[in-house]
Structure 1
Amino acid sequence: MRLIPIITACLVAALLYAIVIERERLMAFVQSSSPAMSNPDAPAPENDADVTIVATPKATTKPHDGAVAVMARRSVARETDSAVILRGETQALRQVDVLAESSGKVNSPPLRKGAFVDEGDLLCQLDPGTSVISLAEANSRLAEARARIPETKARVPEAEARVEEAKAQLEEAQINANAASKLSQGGFASDTRVANTQAAVRSAEAGVRGAEAGLTAARAGMEGVDAAIQSAEAAVARAQTEIDNLKIHAPFSGLLETDSAELGALLQGGGGGGGAALCATIIQLDPVKLVGFVPEMSVSRVEVGAGARARLIEGGSVEGRVTFLSRSADAVTRTFRVEITVPNPDLAVRAGQTAEIAIAAEGALAHLLPQSALTLDDSGVLGVRTIAADGTALFVPINVLRDTSDGIFVTGLPDTADVIILGQEYVTDGIPVAPSFEEVIQ
């Protein structure tokens, strides 16, 4: 059996009980048993270096009978930096997989990963194959279509003239028919003449319709030439685009994260049924992004444009400004994405490094207290026990501002407050206390 830990725990519990609960009796016992304390007239020790001066804790008010002994601290609020602390990681400002848009074999030497490229630098060049021939053929068809324009345009005026001629013939036939009809009514023309003039009118009407049809055909021919020209121009544009896509350039300045495609490799363009082949992956690290997630309780204290500092996990620190704060929370973690842009001219910061981020926020008056001083009331509200002016315990709700290695910064207390830091769990509101104050330099 492990008796030693059990005995040690019992002794520690008894010692704490004697110090906290039976403090006055313990001090009286020590004074009565110490010769120096029991005899105030005893001479002082000769060696001053061996003497440690300890300030005797004093209570602010005279304790009531039956008061509970507690340890307290007189805390004074001070201006503190209420920075929002979170953990995050570095990310490249931009990262792009540069894909081939045309199919062909690579006929340019590869660039190795880690190389720096400027915007517009050649990454991969493909063999042209029949692309040049296709462009020449498309240009020939375009020239042929444009050559048909004069001939087609000339047909339109000719067709319009025929329409006018047919209309004139129709008008003449109608006049002859009217004259024959009136002469026939007076007995001066035969029925045969009237029939001939009416036939001439119908023939003239047919001529007008035929001329109008010819005009429509001439105009349709012109529209067909325009369509042929547009089709030929589209074929030229496609052929030229195919040739332009044979050279794959860097979309922005950055570092190659992968080797570019090897000489002789066959790249499949994205226009086919399969996926496009990768030429290279390029990332931009100047500037670099710091990405973190702010909890709901702190998101209102973060603003776009606020300064921020980050300490990298392997050492070193960087500074930047908040450039993005999400307006919608993550559905799972209920946190908000925040991005900080940091200058990185020497590319010392890499993508994917863990960082502790501190985002500047408006300062506030806060008390620095040990975490052990915090307690909960019957409703589950977080707060601390303080000593009221009448010497009784009083619960005060607080808000946690920031947690540090030295303690926790809280708000909600008056500028000066006597906070119970030991024994607060043994008292409730209105219970008299006999405090012993801890000397603290703030």
Structure 2
Amino acid sequence: MKLFPILTAVIVCVALYFVVLDRASLTNFAARFVPEPQSAPQSVAEDTAETGATDDTPSADVDAAEDDRIHVVVRRSEAQVTENAVLMRGRTEAMRLVNVASETSGRIISTPIRAGAFVEEGQVMCEIDPGTSQSALEEAQARLAEARARVPEAEARLPEARAMLAQAQAQLTSAEIDGNAASRLNESGFGSDTRAASAAAVLAAAEAGVESAAAGLQSAEAGLQSASASVRSAEAAVTRAEDAIADFTIYAPFSGLLETDTAELGALMQPGAICATIIQLDPIKLVGFVPEAQIDRVAMGARAGAELSSGQRVEGEVTFVSRSADDDTRTFRVEITVPNAELLIRDGQTADILVQTEGTPAHLLPSSALTLDDDGRLGVRSVVDGVVEFVEVQMIRDTPNGVLLTGLPDVADVITVGQEFVTAGVEVRTTYEELTQ
């Protein structure tokens, strides 16, 4: 066995011991062979006074050796306003999706339109055989004409009835005058009882004539009301017949794409049977669900963006924020309207959505600066007047350059190296990252 490698290993171990575990003794031993420093020029002394002792001077080494405070590296961080978007996962949803159904029964007599076709609002999609509905309409129209013809006849009876009533009232007035005269003459002895009785009979007949004329007027008015009612009834029958005919033609309620074929030629339709399914994709909605802790940060009209599962990115604005939480998930529905003129976005696609909110002052720090206190709270350790303090923080989000944190003052000296070796209240020596970089 060669002796030289063993001696070399022993010497290396001794050197490592003094360098790592007993650096003070090694420093004191080396200081004996360092010559006394010459007096520095005045300019150098002034620079030294301004900037402090440098690391390569013996006095600095001696001060560092005598200072038993733990040495940490800190970063002076200033808060900056940063966008704090609300992140949620959701899906696309058609603005409208309707199953257009039949309201009557009959067989389809129109050629079907195939799925995927674009239909305009008001375009015929399904047409049903009307059968005898046209005849029913014509019959109702004839009854309406008949009812309207009776109205002038009823109206013409009113003037005649009013004239008869006026004549009867005039006769009654004349009979009353004659009756009063005959009664006075009879009382004074100038008239006979027969004449008085005759005048009273004429008066009674006049009163009966007035009552009869009034009844005739009421009958004429009732006849006019009956004729008017017949007209309204006939008009309602015509409207029902027209609506029944209209139900045999099914139109597109809005412009959109057909998700299914329209009913096939010859198919028998019943009330409620589906003619076709139509979908509107322009504009389209992005639907997401926000936790109750963040719902107050989402406002109507806020800008939002999303990345679809296909990689496509879209932008829109918040048009609906639910006021009621889901009973199971305790989340709130949020809808974002996005233009889709080229119909490239489909219904039901998964989307990662970001809703823009008001800017928040935050500090950008390396994630390694984060630590936990004895109670398990997330925070950082900062240095204030040479003393360590623990500050609880809230993480906004992670970025490629670090994490964005809130909870710190506007300017803070945050420990980035050595924070795990100190606790709150401990005095430390600090070195700023800006001076060492």
Change (3 A) 1:218 1:138: same
Deviation at 1:195, TM superposition (A): 2.2
Contact 1:287 1:341 survives alignment (8 Å)? yes
Contact 1:99 1:280 survives alignment (8 Å)? yes
Q: Deviations over 1:314-367 (max 9, x none)?
A: 322112222233344444444332222212122111111111112223334422
Q: Deviations over 1:230-284 (max 9, x none)?
A: 1111111111111122111111111111221122222223xxxxxx221111111
Contact 1:292 1:338 survives alignment (8 Å)? yes
Whether 1:401 and 2:381 are equivalent positions in the alignment is no
May I ask how many residue pairs the two structures share in their alignment? Answer: 387
Q: Give the Cα separation in 2 of the matches to 1:365 and 1:64.
A: 41
Deviation at 1:413, TM superposition (A): 2.0
Q: Give the Cα separation in 1 of the matches to 2:167 and 2:400.
A: 106
* Other-structure match for 1:335: 331
Instruction: Judge which range, 316-325 or 137-146, deviates more.
Output: 316-325
Q: Give the Cα separation in 1 of the matches to 2:167 and 2:208.
A: 12
Q: Which of the numbers 280, 284, 305 marks the counterpart of 2:280?
A: 284
* Other-structure match for 1:168: 170
Whether 1:386 and 2:382 are equivalent positions in the alignment is yes
Q: Following superposition of structure 1 onto structure 2, how do residues 74-223 of structure 1 map, counting pairs within 5 Å?
A: 75-223=77-225
Q: TM-score, normalised by structure 1?
A: 0.77
Contact 1:326 1:338 survives alignment (8 Å)? yes
| Residue identity in the other structure for 1:201 | L
* Other-structure match for 2:362: 366
Deviation at 1:100, TM superposition (A): 1.5
Contact 1:64 1:433 survives alignment (8 Å)? no
Q: Deviations over 1:65-121 (max 9, x none)?
A: 765676765545445332222111111111112121232211112222222111111
| Residue identity in the other structure for 1:310 | A
Deviation at 1:396, TM superposition (A): 1.7
Structure 1 unaligned regions, length at least 5: 1-23, 33-37, 39-55, 270-275
Q: Following superposition of structure 1 onto structure 2, how do residues 208-247 of structure 1 map, counting pairs within 5 Å?
A: 208-247=210-249
* Other-structure match for 2:351: 355
| Residue identity in the other structure for 1:385 | R
Contact 1:306 1:322 survives alignment (8 Å)? yes
Q: Deviations over 1:363-413 (max 9, x none)?
A: 3442233556445557776532222231x3212232332244664311232
| Residue identity in the other structure for 1:123 | M
Instruction: Judge which range, 344-353 or 134-143, deviates more.
Output: 344-353
* Other-structure match for 2:299: 303
Change (3 A) 1:425 1:266: farther
| Residue identity in the other structure for 2:262 | S
| Residue identity in the other structure for 1:199 | A
Instruction: Judge which range, 162-171 or 133-142, deviates more.
Output: 162-171
| Residue identity in the other structure for 2:300 | V
* Other-structure match for 2:58: none
Q: Give the Cα separation in 1 of the matches to 2:310 and 2:435.
A: 34
| Residue identity in the other structure for 2:20 | A
Deviation at 1:215, TM superposition (A): 0.1
Q: Give the Cα separation in 1 of the matches to 2:317 and 2:189.
A: 110
Instruction: Judge which range, 317-326 or 432-441, deviates more.
Output: 432-441
Deviation at 1:214, TM superposition (A): 0.7
Deviation at 1:427, TM superposition (A): 4.6
Change (3 A) 1:26 1:325: farther
SS of 1:215 mapped into structure 2: helix
Change (3 A) 1:318 1:180: same
Change (3 A) 1:349 1:104: same
Q: Give the Cα separation in 2 of the matches to 1:228 and 1:352.
A: 55
Deviation at 1:159, TM superposition (A): 0.7
Contact 1:63 1:434 survives alignment (8 Å)? no
* Other-structure match for 1:28: 20
Contact 1:146 1:225 survives alignment (8 Å)? yes
SS of 2:294 mapped into structure 1: helix
Q: Give the Cα separation in 2 of the matches to 1:174 and 1:440.
A: 130
Q: Give the Cα separation in 2 of the matches to 1:385 and 1:141.
A: 94
SS of 1:281 mapped into structure 2: strand
SS of 1:263 mapped into structure 2: coil
| Residue identity in the other structure for 2:340 | N
Whether 1:417 and 2:409 are equivalent positions in the alignment is no
Contact 1:386 1:418 survives alignment (8 Å)? yes
Q: Give the Cα separation in 2 of the matches to 1:336 and 1:372.
A: 34
Q: Give the Cα separation in 2 of the matches to 1:314 and 1:359.
A: 20
| Residue identity in the other structure for 2:185 | L
Q: Give the Cα separation in 2 of the matches to 1:156 and 1:137.
A: 30
| Residue identity in the other structure for 1:309 | G
Whether 1:312 and 2:304 are equivalent positions in the alignment is no
SS of 1:148 mapped into structure 2: helix
Q: Deviations over 1:28-78 (max 9, x none)?
A: 25989xxxxx9xxxxxxxxxxxxxxxxx9xxxx979976567676554544
| Residue identity in the other structure for 1:354 | T
Contact 1:322 1:341 survives alignment (8 Å)? yes
Deviation at 1:184, TM superposition (A): 1.3
Q: Give the Cα separation in 2 of the matches to 1:319 and 1:403.
A: 22
Q: TM-score, normalised by structure 2?
A: 0.78
Q: Give the Cα separation in 2 of the matches to 1:231 and 1:195.
A: 54
Change (3 A) 1:418 1:154: same
Q: Give the Cα separation in 2 of the matches to 1:339 and 1:64.
A: 65
Change (3 A) 1:380 1:157: farther
Q: Following superposition of structure 1 onto structure 2, how do residues 9-48 of structure 1 map, counting pairs within 5 Å?
A: 28-29=20-21
Change (3 A) 1:26 1:205: farther
Q: Which of the numbers 423, 427, 430 marks the counterpart of 1:432?
A: 427
Contact 1:306 1:359 survives alignment (8 Å)? yes
Contact 1:159 1:215 survives alignment (8 Å)? yes
